[in-house]
Amino acid sequence: MIVTTAQLFKHAYGKYAIGAYNINNAEQAMGLFKGCISSKAPFIIQISKGARKYTDKKMLEAIIRSADEIFPEAIFAVHLDHGDEETCYDCINSGFYSSVMIDASHDPFAKNVEITKRVVEAAHKKGLSVEAELGMLGGVEEDIKVEEGHACLTDPAEAQEFVKQTGCDSLACAIGTSHGAFKFKGKQSLHFDVLKKIQDRLPNFPLVMHGSSSVPKDEVDRINAAGGQIKDSMGVDVNEYLPAAKLGVTKINIDTDGRLVWTRVHREFFRDKPAEFDFRPPGKIFIEEYAKFIASRNVLLGSAGQLDDLRKSLGK
């Protein structure tokens, strides 16, 4: 069942975080739904601009609608990840999305406010909520690379002013994470002091943590043992998910880790069976492995086991 992102946030706020997982194809969708059903967790499906281009935005929509039929017990929202203004309007007008993210965080504050405000106005007219971003994460997004030195943490006072001026419904904050597999050089930790200050200024307001993959060492080691060359990778400490949730982070974005599971499964499969060329056997393994991974993340986020209570609170 597709619900609004606001309904998920209301149930989760201050207690646990909803896992927001990116999908690009049917195998990822199957693994995601299976993992969320087995762990009894609500979730958010995120679709990036890159994903909408990869096959076709309509294909992704059809995959999600079908998954909803195959797994009628699932409760989830559909969200545009890192949208520009034009893509936000396309998603808002499609009638399919629960929420959109307008990411104008690379623009100066006033321009970010101006763009976000326009998207909020259009989205609210159609009952969608809007995630905006303030501050700059390091790392790589689809077509934007932010060098470590240019990343900047969200300023709590600015965050309060930004939400007031834009009317956005949730805020992606930069608190030390970055996109991709190379998040920290040296000390691995979130800036809980900054997060606490943001929550103090924005009580009961849903915050979002991007760049939250944990980049598991055993996963990377297995990839490298099967021919990969991923060096100096480091992710978020999974033990920091729940403490962040208690400070108002209601949505935790995880994409890179799923790509690592895919890479490990396929590299090992073809290393061990070099004469194989049917993509379905490794695809099948990937679905099961991704489902296990998703379930394990939902446990760490505290969303595992919340499905029945959420259903009751929604009166369904």
List, by residue number, the catalytic residues.
Answer: 81
Beta-carbon contacts of residue 264 (< 8 Å; ≥ 6 apart) = 219, 222, 223, 226, 289
Q: Does 210 bind Zn ion (CB under 5 A)?
A: yes
Q: Does 51 bind ligand G3H (CB under 6 A)?
A: yes
Output the smallest distance, CB 208 to ligand 13P, in A.
Answer: 9
Output the smallest distance, CB 157 to ligand 13P, in A.
Answer: 24
The DSSP 8-state label assigned to residue 203 in this structure reads T
> Any idea which residue has 């929550």 for tokens?
199
212: partner contacted, choices ligand 13P, Zn ion, ligand G3H, none (Cβ within 5-8 A by kind): ligand 13P
Query: Which tokens is 18 given?
Result: 């909803």
Of 113, 255, 295, 304, the residue at the interface with ligand 13P (CB under 6 A) is 255
Query: Which tokens is 287 given?
Result: 């679905």
Q: Does 213 bind ligand 13P (CB under 6 A)?
A: yes
Query: Which tokens is 137 given?
Result: 């994460």
Q: Does 57 bind ligand G3H (CB under 6 A)?
A: no
Q: Are 233 and 182 in contact (CB under 8 A)?
A: yes
Q: Does 49 bind Zn ion (CB under 5 A)?
A: no
152 or 314, CB closer to ligand G3H? 152
46 or 306, CB closer to ligand 13P? 46
Q: Does 254 bind ligand 13P (CB under 6 A)?
A: yes
Site string for ligand G3H, 173-202 (x = CB under 6 A): ------x-----------------------
Beta-carbon contacts of residue 160 (< 8 Å; ≥ 6 apart) = 201, 202
Query: Which tokens is 139 given?
Result: 């790392």
CA 282 to each of CA 217, 257, 261: distance values in angstroms, whole numbers, following the listed order? 22, 17, 11
Where does this chain touch ligand G3H (CB under 6 A) — which range of 48-56, 105-113, 149-157, 292-300? 48-56
Please give the Cα distance from 271 to 203 (Å, whole number).
Answer: 51
Q: Does 180 bind ligand 13P (CB under 6 A)?
A: yes
Of 141, 219, 257, 289, the residue at the interface with ligand G3H (CB under 6 A) is 141
Please give the Cα distance from 63 to 25 (Å, whole number).
Answer: 8
Q: Does 87 bind ligand G3H (CB under 6 A)?
A: no
Q: Coil, strand, or helix at residue 207?
A: strand
In this structure, the chain runs to a length of 316
| Closest to 159 (Cα-Cα) out of 197, 123, 104 | 197
Chain residues in the site for ligand 13P (CB under 6 A): 22, 81-82, 179-180, 210-213, 253-257
Residues near ligand G3H (CB under 6 A) are: 22, 48, 50-51, 81-82, 141-142, 179, 255
Interacting residues toward Zn ion by CB under 5 A = 210
